Structure 1
Amino acid sequence: MRSVDTGYERPEASQGGSGVRPVDSDHVIRTAGLTKRFRGGQLAVDGLDLTVPRGSVFGFLGPNGSGKTTTIRMLMGLIAPSAGVATVLGAPMPQSVAAVLPRVGALIEGPALYGFLSGRDNLARIDAADPTADPRTRARRVGEALDRVGLTAAAGKKARAYSLGMKQRLGLASALLQPRELLVLDEPTNGLDPQGMREIRALVREVAAEGTTVFLSSHLLDEIEQVCTHAAVMSKGRLVVQGTVAELAARAQGRLVVRTPDVAAASEVLSGHRVTDLRPSEARVDGLAAELGDEALPKLCAALVEAGVRVHGFGVERGTLEDAFVALTGEGFDVAG
């Protein structure tokens, strides 16, 4: 499903110009028809109409190779689009790079670090390159950023000795050196262990609570579902759907779960009561419950018991982003958390 409301007015072609102009300031990112075609004809991003509400934690979701990083690179002015328009913080990109980027913290495609410098010195060098940064308070900013990502103890170690996860933390610290209106994170938990993932998720929530809009790219459904308020799903360079996380999950049908040793008999009863896509296993059978309401559930449980099915567990699991993604695209997905 493609978004219809792009948030842009499109004048008639006879009026000339780009044909696109922003009409509201409630969104930190807007794109209209954003397209990137590389040499050789590879279409990486195809007509993207994206809206990121101010104050949201926005999950940019899709499998590896779906066009997420290419989109982010266009939004940050690192590459020019082949067609379409992008605005960030109300300004067109890449034309307004100099005005926009000082208001944005970003971690894209992993951090670029000086291996011969310590973690602390890397941050100091990055901070010194920021024309808006006050050199008198540099040491305090660097120390606070290191502390926020859990690298204070390793601040004096050479960056080349950092693990992948530590480098990722240092890159995130560089994006947090100053308060920003927008924080753009491309796969921020890449290389982190489960504990590190939890810490970064907590940090994202903390930054958002301070008033920063967070744009978080990930191929991990669990990550998006845990921390994001809004999300967009990309597939093969195209936008599949966007909205709040709750709205996206609601697109998926709930799943009726019955735990029983009598799997075959339970499957027969369920299929006769409009429960489809059954997935029997040794002690469980589940299926999509498209039209079942709360009143139907007791009747269905009674039907199973009357048929002699031994019911050890019975209930409906809500739809998830994984269910919604598969329903919308028909594709499998990496759902590791």
Structure 2
Amino acid sequence: MSARPAEAGKAAVTTTAAPAPGVPRAPLAPLVIETEGLTKRYPGDRLAVDGLDLRVPEGSVFGFLGPNGSGKTTTIRMLLGLITPSAGRARVLGGEMPGAGRRVLPHVGALIEGPALYGFLSGRDNLRRLDAADPTASRADRERRVSEALDRVGLAPAADRRARTYSLGMKQRLGLAAALLRPRRLLVLDEPTNGLDPQGMREIRVLVRALAAEGTTVFLSSHLLDEIEQVCDHVAVMAAGRLRAQGPVTELLAARAARVVVTTGDTEEATSVLGAHGVADVRQDGSDRLSGEPPAGLDPAALNAALVGAGVRVRAFGTEAITLEERFVELTGEGFDGGR
């Protein structure tokens, strides 16, 4: 399968990567997830996902973002065959979902909306039971797999405690360990750092990068935009059930130029000079800080000289890259509140 030409506002993706070790498979395709017109309409004519064309390149860490009610979790459920689309198609690892679920899902690990655990069992026994439910899992090396999964998420010291005594962050780790019991070509994570302290969040970031380096594609839904910016190389932004943008994070941010930032007490005069030189959307942040979007080709040094020449007392001058959060707000028209 090859990527289709990029649509307006969307980047074509064609990257490839090696498969997760030990997973038999056919020749690799460049995309592990591809949807065409994927739509989900609920009773009462409520449209949750509207004509979604999603492209997830193999080997990527793919961030899936959207405000409350944007359709993220509904999309994930359709991708995993948990609910049936009203229209459109979803291909995961080359198989049409939900029909190909029996063949595809053994190669997919998932942590969706928090793990479902047996509270009366230990963390280790929870993993043993989950592993035993996998018809493709060998009983002979079950203990090794369980121990390795616990080690990988930092739960080995608490492995024999009952799961009901675990904190929220520990339960998240155990759910992630369950998704890692077998080598996976695709890992789907919904808010994997929920409840974790800063050290735990850092460890999960390191783990996600390591998995991607091994060839596992990670599809990551999160409300922590700085987290996405640190760990993801591709991103898709949803709003009101529709896809607003997707592609490499660097390209998404490069679509907008860096802002000019001026610190001065002469804000009125500085605003006039900036406007005269084509700087758009000039805004005042605090009492003495101005920022705006320069036109293409504007020389920052020349702009600074123009400010000084106009008598503006410039205390600081520079450029500042746009953040993923700012790009998100621009695309969706609203702040990010961690919704589904």
Fold similarity call, TM over 0.5: yes
Give the drift of 1:334: 4.4
Residue identity opposite 2:324 in structure 1? L
Residues 1:306 and 2:312 are matched in the alignment: no
Residues 1:288 and 2:293 are matched in the alignment: yes
Contact 1:252–1:321 (CA under 8 A) maintained in structure 2: no
Higher relative contact order (CA 8 A, sep 6+): 2
Q: Bigger shift: 323-332 or 254-263?
A: 323-332
Partner of 2:152: 148
Q: Which residue among 104, 107, 113 is the counterpart of 2:111? A: 107
| Equivalent residue runs for 1:11-160 within 5 Å | 25-160=29-164
Q: Which residue among 142, 162, 170 is the counterpart of 1:166? A: 170
Cα distance in structure 2, aligned partners of 1:6 and 1:246: 13
Query: Secondary structure of the equivalent of 1:167?
Result: helix
Residues 1:248 and 2:252 are matched in the alignment: yes
Give the drift of 1:249: 0.9
Q: Deviations over 1:262-317 (max 9, x none)?
A: 33332232222211222222231111223343xx2111111222233332321111
Cα distance in structure 2, aligned partners of 1:275 and 1:303: 13
Q: Bigger shift: 71-80 or 218-227?
A: 218-227
Partner of 2:20: none
Give the drift of 1:136: 1.6
Give the drift of 1:142: 1.1
Contact 2:67–2:335 (CA under 8 A) maintained in structure 1: no
Cα distance in structure 2, aligned partners of 1:199 and 1:75: 27
Unaligned runs of 5+ in 2: 1-7, 15-27
Contact 1:185–1:215 (CA under 8 A) maintained in structure 2: yes
Q: Deviations over 1:95-125 (max 9, x none)?
A: 1111111111111111000011111111111
Give the drift of 1:231: 1.2
Cα distance in structure 1, aligned partners of 2:215 and 2:13: 24
Residues 1:213 and 2:217 are matched in the alignment: yes
Residue identity opposite 1:299 in structure 2? A
Residues 1:260 and 2:264 are matched in the alignment: yes
Residues 1:333 and 2:333 are matched in the alignment: no
The 1:317/1:181 distance shift into structure 2, 3 A limit, reads: same
Partner of 2:227: 223
Q: TM-score w.r.t. structure 2 length? A: 0.88
**Superposed CA RMSD:** 2.0
Query: Secondary structure of the equivalent of 2:218?
Result: strand
Percent identity reads 67
Unaligned runs of 5+ in 1: 8-23
Partner of 1:237: 241
Partner of 1:16: none
Contact 1:31–1:84 (CA under 8 A) maintained in structure 2: yes
The 1:262/1:3 distance shift into structure 2, 3 A limit, reads: closer
Partner of 1:192: 196
Cα distance in structure 1, aligned partners of 2:11 and 2:281: 31
Cα distance in structure 1, aligned partners of 2:312 and 2:41: 57
Cα distance in structure 1, aligned partners of 2:295 and 2:197: 37
Cα distance in structure 1, aligned partners of 2:138 and 2:305: 71
Contact 1:3–1:49 (CA under 8 A) maintained in structure 2: no
Contact 1:249–1:321 (CA under 8 A) maintained in structure 2: yes
Cα distance in structure 2, aligned partners of 1:314 and 1:224: 29
Contact 2:62–2:220 (CA under 8 A) maintained in structure 1: yes
Q: Which residue among 319, 322, 325 is the counterpart of 1:322? A: 325
